[in-house]
Protein backbone atom coordinates (compact mmCIF):
# COMPACT_ATOMS: atom_id res chain seq x y z
CA UNK A 1 0.00 0.00 0.00
CA UNK A 2 1.53 3.31 -1.11
CA UNK A 3 1.19 6.78 0.39
CA UNK A 4 2.28 9.83 -1.59
CA UNK A 5 3.70 12.64 0.55
CA UNK A 6 3.79 15.98 -1.29
CA UNK A 7 6.25 18.11 0.67
CA UNK A 8 9.32 20.06 -0.42
CA UNK A 9 11.32 19.26 2.75
CA UNK A 10 13.32 16.04 2.17
CA UNK A 11 13.76 15.51 5.91
CA UNK A 12 10.00 15.46 6.47
CA UNK A 13 9.62 12.88 3.72
CA UNK A 14 12.45 10.75 5.12
CA UNK A 15 11.02 10.91 8.64
CA UNK A 16 7.54 9.90 7.46
CA UNK A 17 9.06 7.05 5.44
CA UNK A 18 10.40 5.66 8.72
CA UNK A 19 7.43 6.53 10.90
CA UNK A 20 4.37 5.49 8.89
CA UNK A 21 5.31 1.83 8.30
CA UNK A 22 5.17 1.35 12.09
CA UNK A 23 1.37 1.26 11.95
CA UNK A 24 -0.79 -1.83 11.61
CA UNK A 25 -0.74 -1.73 7.81
CA UNK A 26 2.16 -2.48 5.50
CA UNK A 27 2.77 0.81 3.72
CA UNK A 28 5.51 2.38 1.65
CA UNK A 29 6.02 6.12 1.26
CA UNK A 30 6.76 7.84 -2.04
CA UNK A 31 7.46 11.54 -2.30
CA UNK A 32 7.03 14.61 -4.46
CA UNK A 33 8.26 18.15 -3.91
CA UNK A 34 5.78 20.07 -6.08
CA UNK A 35 2.69 19.80 -8.28
CA UNK A 36 4.45 18.40 -11.36
CA UNK A 37 6.26 15.72 -9.36
CA UNK A 38 3.04 14.81 -7.57
CA UNK A 39 1.15 14.27 -10.82
CA UNK A 40 4.08 12.31 -12.26
CA UNK A 41 4.20 10.05 -9.21
CA UNK A 42 0.45 9.42 -9.35
CA UNK A 43 0.74 8.53 -13.03
CA UNK A 44 3.59 6.12 -12.24
CA UNK A 45 1.82 4.66 -9.18
CA UNK A 46 -1.92 4.39 -9.99
CA UNK A 47 -2.30 2.10 -6.97
CA UNK A 48 -1.51 4.93 -4.54
CA UNK A 49 -3.94 4.68 -1.61
CA UNK A 50 -3.55 8.11 0.01
CA UNK A 51 -2.00 11.53 -0.54
CA UNK A 52 -0.64 13.67 2.30
CA UNK A 53 -0.36 17.22 0.97
CA UNK A 54 1.58 20.13 2.42
CA UNK A 55 -0.05 23.47 1.63
CA UNK A 56 3.22 25.46 1.57
CA UNK A 57 4.76 24.30 -1.69
CA UNK A 58 7.03 26.37 -3.94
CA UNK A 59 5.30 28.00 -6.90
CA UNK A 60 1.90 26.59 -5.97
CA UNK A 61 -1.04 27.70 -3.89
CA UNK A 62 -1.73 24.71 -1.73
CA UNK A 63 -5.51 25.03 -1.62
CA UNK A 64 -5.66 25.42 -5.40
CA UNK A 65 -3.55 22.28 -5.83
CA UNK A 66 -5.80 20.43 -3.39
CA UNK A 67 -8.87 21.39 -5.41
CA UNK A 68 -7.21 20.40 -8.70
CA UNK A 69 -6.14 17.01 -7.36
CA UNK A 70 -9.63 16.35 -6.01
CA UNK A 71 -11.04 17.06 -9.49
CA UNK A 72 -8.41 15.01 -11.33
CA UNK A 73 -8.36 12.08 -8.87
CA UNK A 74 -11.87 12.04 -7.38
CA UNK A 75 -11.53 8.56 -5.85
CA UNK A 76 -8.16 9.18 -4.22
CA UNK A 77 -8.34 10.34 -0.59
CA UNK A 78 -6.24 13.43 0.05
CA UNK A 79 -5.41 14.81 3.47
CA UNK A 80 -3.50 17.93 4.39
CA UNK A 81 -0.32 17.64 6.44
CA UNK A 82 0.71 21.16 7.35
CA UNK A 83 2.50 23.29 9.92
CA UNK A 84 -0.33 25.83 9.55
CA UNK A 85 -3.53 24.82 11.30
CA UNK A 86 -5.53 27.94 12.08
CA UNK A 87 -9.29 27.63 11.84
CA UNK A 88 -9.64 29.50 8.54
CA UNK A 89 -7.05 27.33 6.77
CA UNK A 90 -8.47 24.07 8.14
CA UNK A 91 -12.02 25.07 7.15
CA UNK A 92 -10.88 26.06 3.66
CA UNK A 93 -8.99 22.79 3.14
CA UNK A 94 -11.93 20.65 4.27
CA UNK A 95 -14.28 22.69 2.06
CA UNK A 96 -11.92 22.06 -0.88
CA UNK A 97 -12.33 18.32 -0.39
CA UNK A 98 -9.58 17.26 2.00
CA UNK A 99 -10.49 14.00 3.74
CA UNK A 100 -8.66 15.18 6.85
CA UNK A 101 -6.24 17.75 8.22
CA UNK A 102 -3.16 16.69 10.19
CA UNK A 103 -0.97 19.21 11.97
CA UNK A 104 2.77 18.66 11.66
CA UNK A 105 2.96 19.30 15.39
CA UNK A 106 1.02 16.07 16.01
CA UNK A 107 2.84 13.33 17.88
CA UNK A 108 4.11 10.36 15.91
CA UNK A 109 1.44 8.13 17.44
CA UNK A 110 -1.38 10.54 16.54
CA UNK A 111 -0.07 10.92 13.00
CA UNK A 112 0.08 7.15 12.48
CA UNK A 113 -3.44 6.73 13.90
CA UNK A 114 -4.77 9.49 11.64
CA UNK A 115 -3.24 7.84 8.57
CA UNK A 116 -4.70 4.46 9.55
CA UNK A 117 -8.16 6.05 9.83
CA UNK A 118 -7.76 7.58 6.38
CA UNK A 119 -6.68 4.26 4.88
CA UNK A 120 -9.78 2.68 6.39
CA UNK A 121 -11.93 5.18 4.50
CA UNK A 122 -12.68 7.33 7.53
CA UNK A 123 -11.90 10.98 8.10
CA UNK A 124 -9.43 11.99 10.79
CA UNK A 125 -10.33 14.42 13.58
CA UNK A 126 -9.74 18.11 13.10
CA UNK A 127 -6.74 19.61 14.87
CA UNK A 128 -7.56 20.94 18.34
CA UNK A 129 -7.76 24.58 17.32
CA UNK A 130 -9.37 25.93 20.44
CA UNK A 131 -7.69 23.83 23.09
CA UNK A 132 -6.27 25.86 25.95
CA UNK A 133 -2.50 25.54 26.42
CA UNK A 134 -1.63 22.36 28.26
CA UNK A 135 0.74 22.77 31.21
CA UNK A 136 4.18 21.47 30.31
CA UNK A 137 4.90 17.91 31.33
CA UNK A 138 8.26 17.51 33.09
CA UNK A 139 10.74 15.81 30.81
CA UNK A 140 8.64 16.44 27.70
CA UNK A 141 8.22 20.19 27.30
CA UNK A 142 11.81 20.39 28.54
CA UNK A 143 12.94 17.80 26.00
CA UNK A 144 16.34 19.38 25.27
CA UNK A 145 17.16 19.45 28.99
CA UNK A 146 16.03 15.84 29.36
CA UNK A 147 18.41 14.87 26.55
CA UNK A 148 21.33 16.59 28.27
CA UNK A 149 21.87 19.14 25.49
CA UNK A 150 23.49 22.53 25.79
CA UNK A 151 21.48 25.69 25.14
CA UNK A 152 22.88 26.07 21.63
CA UNK A 153 22.31 22.39 20.85
CA UNK A 154 18.73 22.89 22.02
CA UNK A 155 18.35 25.75 19.53
CA UNK A 156 19.67 23.53 16.74
CA UNK A 157 17.35 20.69 17.78
CA UNK A 158 14.35 23.00 17.63
CA UNK A 159 15.12 23.95 14.02
CA UNK A 160 16.06 20.40 13.08
CA UNK A 161 12.65 19.23 14.35
CA UNK A 162 11.06 21.64 11.86
CA UNK A 163 12.89 19.88 9.01
CA UNK A 164 15.28 22.74 8.30
CA UNK A 165 18.56 21.86 6.52
CA UNK A 166 21.94 22.92 7.89
CA UNK A 167 22.17 26.00 5.67
CA UNK A 168 18.96 27.46 7.09
CA UNK A 169 20.00 26.56 10.63
CA UNK A 170 23.30 28.37 10.02
CA UNK A 171 21.43 31.43 8.80
CA UNK A 172 18.85 31.47 11.58
CA UNK A 173 21.39 31.02 14.38
CA UNK A 174 24.32 32.89 12.77
CA UNK A 175 26.57 29.83 13.07
CA UNK A 176 29.12 28.31 10.72
CA UNK A 177 28.20 25.11 8.92
CA UNK A 178 30.98 23.26 10.74
CA UNK A 179 29.59 24.31 14.13
CA UNK A 180 26.08 23.22 13.17
CA UNK A 181 27.40 19.83 12.05
CA UNK A 182 29.06 19.38 15.46
CA UNK A 183 25.81 20.22 17.25
CA UNK A 184 23.78 17.91 14.99
CA UNK A 185 26.20 15.06 15.71
CA UNK A 186 25.73 15.62 19.46
CA UNK A 187 21.93 15.58 19.03
CA UNK A 188 22.06 12.32 17.08
CA UNK A 189 24.14 10.72 19.83
CA UNK A 190 21.70 11.95 22.49
CA UNK A 191 18.76 10.41 20.60
CA UNK A 192 20.76 7.24 19.81
CA UNK A 193 20.13 7.56 16.07
CA UNK A 194 22.37 7.90 13.03
CA UNK A 195 20.61 10.31 10.66
CA UNK A 196 18.64 13.55 10.83
CA UNK A 197 15.56 11.79 9.45
CA UNK A 198 15.81 9.17 12.20
CA UNK A 199 16.12 12.02 14.72
CA UNK A 200 12.86 13.62 13.55
CA UNK A 201 11.12 10.24 13.59
CA UNK A 202 12.46 9.52 17.08
CA UNK A 203 11.26 12.89 18.36
CA UNK A 204 7.82 12.13 16.95
CA UNK A 205 7.86 8.62 18.46
CA UNK A 206 8.66 10.07 21.88
CA UNK A 207 5.93 12.69 21.46
CA UNK A 208 8.50 15.49 21.67
CA UNK A 209 7.86 17.10 18.29
CA UNK A 210 4.82 18.99 19.54
CA UNK A 211 6.56 20.42 22.59
CA UNK A 212 9.51 21.58 20.53
CA UNK A 213 7.40 23.25 17.84
CA UNK A 214 5.27 24.91 20.49
CA UNK A 215 8.34 26.82 21.64
CA UNK A 216 8.76 28.63 18.33
Task: Note whether 98 and 156 are same-domain residues.
Answer: no
Task: Note whether 42 and 82 are same-domain residues.
Answer: yes
Sign of CA dihedral 72, 74, 80, 86: positive
CB burial string 93-129: b at 16+ within 10 A, e below:
bbebebbbbbbbbbbbebbbbbbbbbbeeeebeebee
Residue 4 has pLDDT above 90, yes or no: yes
Task: Name the pTM for this structure.
Answer: 0.64
CATH number of the structural domain spanning residue 184: 1.10.10.10
The average confidence (pLDDT) of the chain is: 82
* Interval 53-64: pLDDT, tens: 999 888 888 899
176 Cβ contact partners less than 8 Å away, ≥ 6 residues apart: 170
User: Residue 212: its pLDDT value, please?
Assistant: 46
Q: Is residue 132 part of a domain?
A: no
Q: Is residue 103 part of a domain?
A: yes
Task: Note whether 148 and 115 are same-domain residues.
Answer: no
* Interval 116-166: pLDDT, tens: 989 998 887 677 553 433 333 333 344 555 677 888 888 888 888 777 888
* Helix boundaries (H) for the chain: 10-19, 35-44, 62-72, 87-95, 108-119, 143-146, 151-161, 166-173, 177-191, 196-205, 209-213
Q: Domain containing 191: what range? A: 143-213
Q: How many domains does the chain have?
A: 2
User: Residue 206: its pLDDT value, please?
Assistant: 66
* Interval 36-90: pLDDT, tens: 999 999 999 999 999 999 998 888 888 999 999 999 999 999 999 988 878 888 8
Task: Note whether 105 and 168 are same-domain residues.
Answer: no
Task: Note whether 115 and 8 are same-domain residues.
Answer: yes
Task: Note whether 172 and 108 are same-domain residues.
Answer: no
User: Residue 134: its pLDDT value, please?
Assistant: 37
Amino acid sequence: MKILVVDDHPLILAALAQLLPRGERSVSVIGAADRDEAYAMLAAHPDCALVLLDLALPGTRGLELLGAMRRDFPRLPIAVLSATHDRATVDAALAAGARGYIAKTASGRDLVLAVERLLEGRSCPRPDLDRAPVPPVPGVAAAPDALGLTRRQSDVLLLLAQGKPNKLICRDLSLSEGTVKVHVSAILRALNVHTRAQAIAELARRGLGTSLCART
